[in-house]
Chains A and B, each alone.
Chain A
Amino acid sequence: MKLDIILAGVGGQGVLSVSAVIAGATARLGWNVKQSEVHGMAQRGGAVLAHLRMADEPVYSDLIPRGDADLILSLEPMESLRYLEYLSPTGTIATDTHPVRNIDDYPDLDRLLETVRSTGTAILVEATSLARQAGNVKAANMVMVGVVAHLLPVTEDALISEIQSTFARLGDKALEANLKAFQLGRTACAKSTANPA
């Protein structure tokens, strides 16, 4: 069994925290995990890509071969399409629909979302709005962890305990918002699966 995830977003959105939570919980299962991150210049508001590879057999390459990713998990709709060549024909895209318009030539959002939907299995969630509802707009990344939780080889409790250890240092209020964001993501996904847009 293996699960290869492409994590996408914009520098500053918390892509690496998503990777840390999922990787941490999966490693506790005894799975092999490799988590390739982006540091340095690219983090400055630019497109960010991380590879997360998990398997109950050896994981060799730190990078996912193109066409092999089981999931593209994106914190931004345009970024969810940037690494499409990595997606397996049976893979899923899950993305926040809220755009980060820090560039002048951002494409038409409706057409963009239509393209995401047309890729096959796509889960589109208004994660940023849900995070605001959870009390911290920056917790959109944990909404998205909740959204894909059912695709991961770990239990909900394992993810919650990983969120607790990742965000405890930020204080009770931030931790609470992130946990609530995760639950809102769970619920939103159940709705979006029951009622495909």
Chain B
Amino acid sequence: MTTTRKPATQVVLGDEAVALGALHAGISAAYGYPGTPSTEILEYLLSTPDPGPKVAWCANEKTAYEAAVGVSMVGRRSLVTMKHVGLNVAADPFINSALVEIGGGLVVAVADDPGMHSSQNEQDSRYYADFAHILCLEPADQQQAYDMTRQAFDLSERFHIPVMIRMVTRLAHSRSVVTVAPPHPELPLGDLPDGSNWTLLPANARRRYADLLDRQPALLAHSEDVAELQLASSDLGVITTGIARNYFFEHLAELGDRPSHLHIGTYPIPVAAVRRLAEHVAKIVVLEDGYPYVERLLRGLLEAPVAIDGKLNGQLPSSGELDPDVVRPALGLPDHRPAVPPLELAGRPPQLCRGCPHADSFHALIDAMVELEGPLVCSDIGCYTLGALPPYRAIQSCVCMGASIGMARGAADAGYRPAIAVIGDSTFLHSGMTPLLDAVADNTDLTVLILDNHTVAMTGAQPTLVPSERLPDIIRGLGVDPDHLHVLRASRKGEADLIATITKELNHPGLSVVIAERECIEAVKRDRRERT
């Protein structure tokens, strides 16, 4: 019997393709903080058998990014992952890491969430890559997610810059077949780097920044090289980026005269390719998921020499994600949606799981506040944000990770009473400790309720950085008065105690912290499954 060797294939999520690409690029380490739709990248790496790279969840995206920079500094490859808003947290090391002399490849995989499936905004990370003067690679499918991630490490080392992989929810969470190539070996540990290229004192930083600017033409030349331009019809030209390419291809058979097409998968925007397209066609349609980043640059400030259709002139919706239907009118295709009779369907929003400890905590909080007039509850990012919906309607805000404590502190300073912050354990460790320190320093009249479910629940129950038992030590260590720090059980049985304690601390004219603790019901179920 003879066998032919077929290329190795795997069925993976877009996120997993990024993970696999990084693994096969020979990374020494990967770091991140969980956040939909990026979580599965690190989860996949964590599930690979030892010996493999060092893979770790970190306190937040900033600490994760800095660890990845350190790996690069000593000559080895590293990956750092986060969701789009996580890059706001990591923005400081991100922007500045473009000024140091990147050694081992440093790749930051950022997952944007057009349509806000699981996020508070739909910011577009391509602007961040532009802002930092680095390359951004945007895969169109799972295969490209794998190939581009591998390539990103080479580019990072070639140009001595961090390289961004920009994912979007639809690709991150869509599964398809990927063909993989033989893995690259791990790089050897480097020598002590030249400190003058890593110490961004103004004198060094000016030199490094000039050097970064000097490398820009080379970055542009690279994106010109890889831009995919096909000149066909002189009436219509279509520019696609990332997965928008697939929506264009989906309709290609229906478009009689084949449009000219420029696909951009690598930024900076390939200017010469855009100009060649513009010289060839009478009209350009821009299809891109996220903000109209390419379209806005195309339009500039003065009148463009060709007609441009896109999000800025209403030919495509200015918010939300693209799909095969919304791109049809911009491509001149008729509406394809069938007429559906009006149906009386009830909405089914997400809700806290049956048996969730947060439900008991919210019941207790609501009971403790029942006599109070207009209690202000600032909350945070996590499953407990669902406390905004019926039957609880218990919170007034959710802005960004850790904002609950800072905002409640500000409201208290402004004179509002009572001011309450509700935050989960992992979010507290991510960015709640620093605003609590502010409140300690000022003995702000504020009650902080920490909903401790021992896990990062919303993103699939990743472990928190410290076990629950150590949370009170951390809070005492920040300087919270031990007389006003309480740990209680979040349960039906313990509800009376929790109500009494919250009530007492709401009356205390100073800072108090109440920890309502019980393990996430989904994590309990999972652990039980894994034990059997």
Residue of B nearest to A169 (CB): B529
The tally of residues in A whose CB lies under 8 Å from a CB in B reads 50
B346 within 8 A of A: yes
B345: chain A residues at CB < 8 Å are 78, 81-82, 107
Nearest Cβ in chain B — how far from A86, in angstroms?
9
B211 within 8 A of A: no
- Residue-wise, chain A 4-32 has the 8 Å CB interface mask toward B (1 for contact) of 00000011100000000001100100001
- Interface magnitude class on chain B: 35 or more
Is the beta-carbon distance between B350 and A44 smaller than 8 angstroms? yes
Is the beta-carbon distance between B338 and A89 smaller than 8 angstroms? yes
State the main secondary structure of chain B at its contact with A.
Answer: loop
A147 within 8 A of B: no
- Residue-wise, chain A 109-130 has the 8 Å CB interface mask toward B (1 for contact) of 0000001000000000000000
Is the beta-carbon distance between B351 and A23 smaller than 8 angstroms? no
Is the beta-carbon distance between A34 and B37 smaller than 8 angstroms? no
A11: chain B residues at CB < 8 Å are 350
* Residues of chain A in range 63-78 having any CB-CB distance to chain B below 8 Å: 63-68, 78
A150 within 8 A of B: no
B175: chain A residues at CB < 8 Å are 23, 33-37
Stretch from B21-29, B166-174, B368-376 contacting the other chain: B166-174
Q: How far is the CA of A59 from the CA of B143 in the complex (A)?
A: 13
Q: How far is the CA of A81 from the CA of B342 in the complex (A)?
A: 11
Is the beta-carbon distance between A39 and B337 smaller than 8 angstroms? no
B529: chain A residues at CB < 8 Å are 170
Residue of A nearest to B11 (CB): A27
* Residues of chain B in range 133-175 having any CB-CB distance to chain A below 8 Å: 170-171, 173-175
Nearest Cβ in chain B — how far from A67, in angstroms?
4
26 examples of A-B residue contacts, CB within 8 angstroms: A10-B348, A23-B11, A24-B11, A32-B176, A32-B177, A34-B174, A35-B175, A41-B36, A44-B350, A45-B352, A47-B347, A47-B348, A60-B250, A63-B324, A65-B336, A66-B324, A66-B336, A67-B336, A78-B346, A78-B348, A85-B338, A85-B340, A87-B338, A103-B346, A106-B346, A107-B346
Instruction: Given contact pairs A45-B351, A170-B529, enumerate 20 new A-B contacts (beta carbons under 8 Å).
Output: A10-B348, A23-B11, A24-B11, A34-B176, A35-B175, A35-B176, A36-B170, A36-B173, A36-B175, A37-B174, A38-B173, A40-B458, A60-B246, A63-B324, A64-B324, A66-B325, A66-B338, A67-B336, A81-B345, A82-B345
Q: Please list the residues of chain A having a beta carbon within 8 angstroms of any beta carbon in chain B.
A: 10-12, 23-24, 27, 32-47, 58-68, 78-79, 81-82, 84-85, 87-89, 102-103, 105-107, 115, 170-171
